């Protein structure tokens, strides 16, 4: 596609929606046609997102009109019905919510507490872990943007799964900045509750676990995943530490070579010579992976991303770029910010 496309962002008052608007505002092939938020019709976007005041945009309470692309940053259950209507109108839909991540309607019902709103759309959705989905994305009209935890975890683990090296169940110990909880979080997410503290949550089962298991199965490793997420006292950033048993004993150099073979030519996934800190990725769509042998037939693989960048808005735009034939890095190529 050449020329500019008209784009709508639904859920623009949230953290991920705001990051989408920020990044899209610098995309050379995008015109932001409308930004949407419930119960805020006619309100300046800057009231919800003060940093976006220079854009001069106004929120709309309602559905997008005639647009080429719609990004949906909505709670689970809310995206699917709207996606159906937008698809019928001819738009490319990129859902950064959860409605199309799990391919099985029964699995969705089990993990999200109710029937899928549009089960007939599930076969049409492309799971947009971009580096491993480009061929499917080029024909896509409906993209399921992966969750932030699965993005980091699957970037770390997929090369080993595809190589047939995953020989045992996998443990993912992952830590996210507080923005991963969204703007609607309650008292447990106040600064006074979280500063100088780190806590695990959803130990009985997190909705991202079946998503990680689904991704590994698609890559050839049908294994169980023990997934423990944590909140850490920082605004943004996500680190996944993944422990796995290997079918072949590999030293550090061989582990690194496997990651380089997978990602050496990628614009956004970088093989780090040392364990990466989340700060490397802050404000960007870049990811950093590192692997180390921990014993005979054992390895740990680390993956650092920005949960709002590669974990949400950045990857959503990357997926749009591939689907529409734009330069994959358009609008999202900048490195992270520091300090």
The 10s digit of each residue's pLDDT in 85-104 is 999 999 999 999 999 999 99
Please report the pLDDT score of residue 1 as a whole number. 61
* β-pair partners for 92: 69
Confidence of residue 284 (pLDDT cuts 50, 70, 90): very high
Confidence of residue 185 (pLDDT cuts 50, 70, 90): low
Please report the pLDDT score of residue 144 as a whole number. 98
- Residue 101: what are its φ and ψ, rounded to 5°? -75, -40
Residue 34 has pLDDT above 70, yes or no: yes
- Is 171 in contact with 285 (CB distance < 8 Å)? no
- Least reliable range by pLDDT among 2-6, 94-98, 100-104, 208-212: 2-6
- Positions annotated as catalytic residues are 148
Residue 111 has pLDDT above 70, yes or no: yes
Question: CA triplet 220, 322, 313: central angle to 5 degrees?
Answer: 85
| All structural domains of the chain | 5-146+310-324 (3.40.50.720), 148-307 (3.30.360.10)
Residue 193: CA atoms inside 13 Å, Cβ hemisphere, count? 9
Residue 2 has pLDDT above 70, yes or no: no
pLDDT digits (tens, 9 = 90+) for 295-322: 999 999 999 999 999 999 999 999 999 9
Beta-carbon contacts of 20 under 8 Å, excluding residues fewer than 6 positions away, are 9, 12, 71, 73, 96, 312, 313, 316, 317
Residue 61 has pLDDT above 80, yes or no: yes
Beta-carbon contacts of 56 under 8 Å, excluding residues fewer than 6 positions away, are none
Element (H, E) at 107: helix 105-112
**Cα–Cα distance measured from residue 21 to residue 35, given in angstroms and rounded to the nearest whole number:** 8
**Full-model pTM:** 0.96
Confidence of residue 42 (pLDDT cuts 50, 70, 90): very high
Give me the percent of the chain exceeding a pLDDT of 70.
99
Confidence of residue 246 (pLDDT cuts 50, 70, 90): very high
Please report the pLDDT score of residue 339 as a whole number. 87
Give me the percent of the chain exceeding a pLDDT of 90.
92
Of the candidates 155, 207, 148, which has an alpha carbon nearest to the alpha carbon of residue 180? 148
pLDDT digits (tens, 9 = 90+) for 132-169: 999 999 989 999 999 999 999 999 999 999 999 999 99
Residue 274 has pLDDT above 90, yes or no: yes
Average pLDDT, the chain: 96
């Amino acid at each position: 596609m050449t020329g500019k496309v008209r784009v709508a962002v639904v859920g623009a008052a949230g953290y991920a929606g705001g990051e989408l608007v920020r990044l899209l505002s610098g995309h050379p092939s995008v015109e932001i046609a409308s930004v949407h938020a419930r119960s805020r019709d006619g309100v300046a976007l800057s009231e919800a997102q003060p940093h976006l005041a220079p854009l001069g945009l106004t929120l709309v309470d309602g559905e997008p009109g005639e647009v080429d692309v719609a990004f949906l940053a909505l709670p689970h259950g809310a995206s699917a019905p709207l996606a159906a209507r937008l698809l019928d109108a001819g738009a490319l839909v990129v859902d950064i919510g959860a409605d199309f991540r799990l391919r099985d309607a029964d699995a969705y019902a089990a993990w999200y507490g109710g029937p899928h709103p549009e089960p007939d759309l599930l076969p049409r959705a492309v799971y947009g872990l971009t580096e491993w989905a480009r061929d499917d994305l080029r024909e896509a009209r409906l993209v399921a943007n992966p969750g932030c935890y699965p993005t980091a975890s699957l970037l770390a683990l997929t090369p080993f799964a595809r190589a047939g090296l995953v020989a045992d169940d996998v443990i993912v110990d992952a830590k996210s900045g507080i923005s991963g909880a969204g703007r609607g979080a309650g008292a447990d997410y106040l600064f006074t509750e979280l500063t100088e503290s780190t806590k695990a949550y959803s130990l009985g089962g997190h909705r991202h676990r079946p998503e990680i298991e689904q991704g590994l199965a698609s890559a050839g490793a049908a294994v169980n995943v023990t997934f423990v997420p944590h909140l850490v006292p920082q605004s943004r950033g996500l680190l996944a530490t993944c422990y796995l048993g290997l079918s072949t004993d590999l030293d550090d150099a061989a582990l690194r070579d496997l990651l380089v073979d997978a990602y050496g030519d990628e614009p956004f996934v970088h093989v780090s010579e040392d364990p990466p800190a989340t700060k490397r990725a802050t404000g960007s769509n870049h990811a950093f992976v590192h692997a180390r042998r921990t014993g005979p037939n054992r390895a740990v693989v680390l993956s650092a991303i920005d949960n709002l960048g590669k974990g949400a808005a950045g990857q959503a735009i990357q997926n749009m770029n591939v689907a529409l034939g734009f330069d994959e890095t358009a609008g999202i190529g900048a490195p992270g910010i520091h300090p």
